[in-house]
Amino acid sequence: DAEGLLRIKEENQKHYRRAQRHQEKKEKIQRLNRKLGDLVEKKTYELKSQYEHLANLRRTHILELTSVIFPIEEVKTSMRDPADVSSESDNAMTSSTVSKLAEARRTTYLSGRWVCDDHNGDTSISITGPWITLPNNGDYSAYYNWVEEKKTTQGPDTEHNNPAYTISAALCYATQLVNTLSLILDVNLPKKLCNRQFCGENLSRHRFTRAVKKLNANILHLCFSQHVNLDLLHPLHTLRNLMYLVSPDTENLGR
């Protein structure tokens, strides 16, 4: 029994020494973890600062780009609401008739359906200058209507103020701006669209509509990536959505 007790005591001492070594290793690992945790926290803070700096640089480049090369502004036209004109000419007109006229003016028949236009069609959005504008409600039918007329009309086109030229130029500039913004913001666009898509040859109605849908999808994707207020966006308002994206009021621009 004495010999067995002695052996047990020796084993207990070995286990005790081993436990001490494990405890020292544990404390060493804990110190290392705390050190690494402090380093990760420091690097995370530096990375966040670099992200903020990068976002500010992107924001500066975008605002410079849209103020010097691609300025986007809202152009108001001097159109009066027909409800107001009618009410002035006919004092006996009921309020329901006035409201119906106002409601009718806020809708647009586009691609076989009625589309609500909150801006009443009295504004357009310009890009690179007030002479290159797009309809606010997204109705680009003037372009493919002009293309259809060109197919049936022979001879050179001498009409320099054709709205189809304006639409084509505005969409071309918008495409260039969107592709440039995707590079600055490092955001991959969901649809591939070349800068020359809307210039050069006249597009058919199908190809034109398909290209416009691609452009609108890319603009919305950029807006979503920069956390633009969803209440401001409309899937058909090409330049207006782009204007909200590059606005100085967009808090997360450059993220």
Spell 8-39 as b/e; 16+ CB within 10 A means b: eeeeeeeeeeeeeeeeeeeeeeeeeeeeeeee
Q: How far apart are CA 198 and CA 201, in angstroms?
A: 8
pLDDT in tens, the chain (255 residues): 999 999 999 999 999 989 999 999 999 999 999 999 999 999 999 999 999 999 999 999 999 999 899 998 888 765 444 444 444 445 545 556 656 665 665 565 554 556 555 444 467 888 988 888 888 888 888 887 777 777 676 555 555 567 788 888 999 999 999 999 999 999 999 999 988 888 877 788 888 889 999 999 999 999 999 999 988 888 889 899 999 999 888 888 888
Q: Which two tokens stand for residue 6?
A: 């002695």
String of DSSP letters for 89-110: H-TT--HHHHHHHHHHHTEEEE
Q: How far apart are CA 222 and CA 245, in angstroms?
A: 8
The pTM of this model reads 0.68
Q: Distance between alpha carbon 76 and the CA centroid of its chain, in Å?
A: 23
154 CB-contact burial (10 Å; exposed 0-12 / middle 13-18 / buried 19+): exposed
pLDDT at 39: 93
